[in-house]
């Protein structure tokens, strides 16, 4: 009975998404914005598991900086931003090289071009902030087609629909499983790749432990490993929402990496660039995501309710602390 209901639910989700992919491009930008505001507000009310995760994340990251009411407002805006990202992803076929400037402001593009170099081989690093879907879209419009890592849906019927939309702008979609090898080959061929640096992964996967809001978390080591193996620069960028359905795509200076930097130090440098942005305006970050799935054993710091100790992650954190206190010549 449960498997039958699951198949039915998957089919209904597929039909709903297929309809959205056909209807949303017919809407005006104003209609998309207000629709996202409405759906986001409703999701913040009815998605109880997601709201619980988001509120717990905010409490763990910021402590008692905000009241419960203030945290709830941030969570609602986070849902609304995510709803905008999804609706605008399906509206994106309306964009062209001639009109996308009306909807996206781009800052520091010339510096981005310089950092990318004449070969245009680089690792674009971003985070689950604002319209992260339009971050890769903006790269495509300014001349950089990339291999983009995505996470598969629990409902496999949805993947082809999202993949079709994302490929419209010259990108290739790479599933997470085995992605690092494919990204490596792309960079070796002189291409560019895009990775989300706040992607939480299992400690058994290629990962490192970094500090995120003072809490240890387990993130992908892909940008660090790819930089070490290919020498391609890491170019951070993020996309933040503006009023009335517009966005600002901000290019940051490339990450400065010492020749002897470890994977952990490179991953930490990537996140250290983004954390002040989230601290300044937390609402556009995806707080419903389980950002701290694992925690060190015996920690006194408050972690979200869903975090649990993992032996391998504990060893990663212990090794990190040992290296941090080791003499410089060790």
Q: 215-220 and 207-212 as β-strands: parallel, antiparallel, unpaired?
A: antiparallel
> What pLDDT does 330 receive?
30
> What pLDDT does 326 receive?
52
**Does residue 49 fall inside a structural domain?**
no
CATH number of the domain where residue 318 is located: 3.40.1130
Dihedral angle over CA of 146, 220, 264, 237, nearest 10 = 40
> What pLDDT does 170 receive?
65
- Cβ(119)–Cβ(144) below 8 Å: no
Number of domains present in the structure of the chain: 1
- pLDDT per residue as tens, the chain (330 positions): 567 777 888 888 888 888 888 999 999 999 999 999 999 999 999 999 999 999 999 999 999 999 999 999 999 999 999 999 999 989 988 988 888 889 999 999 999 999 998 888 999 999 999 998 888 888 888 888 788 877 777 778 778 877 777 776 667 777 777 788 889 998 999 989 988 999 899 999 889 999 999 999 999 999 999 999 999 999 999 999 998 889 999 999 999 999 899 999 999 999 999 999 999 999 999 999 999 999 988 888 899 999 999 999 988 888 877 766 554 433
| Of residues 230, 226, 205, 208, the one with CA closest to residue 218 | 208
**pTM, to two decimals:** 0.90
**Does residue 53 fall inside a structural domain?**
no
**Does residue 9 fall inside a structural domain?**
no
Distances (CA, A) of 75 to 38, 43, 48, 67, 300: 14, 10, 12, 12, 26
Q: What are the start-end ranges of the H helices in 28-67?
A: 29-46, 48-62
**Does residue 143 fall inside a structural domain?**
yes
Distance, CA of 16 to CA of 265 (rounded, Å): 43
- Cβ(219)–Cβ(316) below 8 Å: no
**Does residue 45 fall inside a structural domain?**
no
> What pLDDT does 304 receive?
97
Q: What are the start-end ranges of the H helices in 93-131?
A: 109-116
**Does residue 64 fall inside a structural domain?**
no
In the numeric block, which tokens belong to residue 125? Answer: 């690093």
> What pLDDT does 234 receive?
96
**Does residue 1 fall inside a structural domain?**
no
**Does residue 297 fall inside a structural domain?**
yes
Distance, CA of 87 to CA of 30 (rounded, Å): 12
3-state secondary structure (DSSP) of residue 308: strand
Q: What domain range includes position 199?
A: 97-325
Q: 247-251 and 146-150 as β-strands: parallel, antiparallel, unpaired?
A: unpaired
- Tens of pLDDT along 260-309? 999 999 999 999 999 999 999 999 999 999 999 999 888 888 999 999 99
């Amino acid at each position: 009975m449960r498997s039958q209901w699951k198949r039915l639910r998957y089919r209904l989700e597929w039909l709903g998404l297929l309809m959205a992919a056909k209807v949303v491009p017919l809407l005006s930008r104003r209609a998309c914005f207000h629709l996202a505001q409405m759906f986001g507000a409703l999701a913040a009310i009815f998605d109880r598991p997601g709201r619980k995760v988001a509120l717990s994340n905010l409490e763990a990251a910021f402590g008692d900086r905000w009241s419960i009411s203030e945290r709830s407002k941030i969570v609602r805006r986070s849902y609304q931003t995510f709803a905008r990202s999804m609706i605008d992803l399906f509206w994106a076929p309306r964009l062209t090289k001639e009109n996308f400037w009306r909807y996206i402001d781009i800052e520091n593009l010339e510096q981005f071009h310089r950092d990318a170099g004449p070969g245009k081989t680089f690792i674009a690093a971003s985070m689950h902030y604002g319209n992260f879907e339009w971050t890769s879209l903006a790269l495509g419009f300014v001349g950089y087609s990339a291999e983009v890592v995505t996470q598969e849906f629990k409902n496999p019927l949805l993947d082809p629909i999202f993949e079709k939309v994302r490929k419209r702008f010259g990108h290739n979609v790479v599933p997470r499983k085995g992605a690092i090898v494919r990204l490596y080959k792309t960079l070796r061929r002189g291409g560019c790749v895009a990775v989300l640096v706040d992607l939480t992964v299992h400690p058994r996967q290629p990962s490192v432990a970094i500090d995120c809001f003072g809490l240890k978390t387990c993130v992908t080591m892909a940008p660090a490993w790819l930089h070490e193996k290919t020498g391609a620069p890491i170019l951070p960028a993020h996309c933040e929402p503006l009023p009335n359905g517009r966005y600002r795509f901000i290019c940051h200076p490339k990450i400065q990496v010492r020749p002897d930097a470890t994977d952990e130090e490179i991953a930490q440098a990537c996140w250290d660039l983004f954390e002040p942005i989230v601290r300044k305006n937390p609402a556009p970050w995806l707080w419903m995501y389980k950002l701290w799935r694992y925690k060190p054993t015996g920690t006194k710091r408050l972690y979200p309710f869903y975090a649990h100790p993992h032996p391998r992650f504990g060893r990663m954190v212990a090794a990190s602390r040992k290296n941090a206190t080791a003499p410089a010549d060790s």
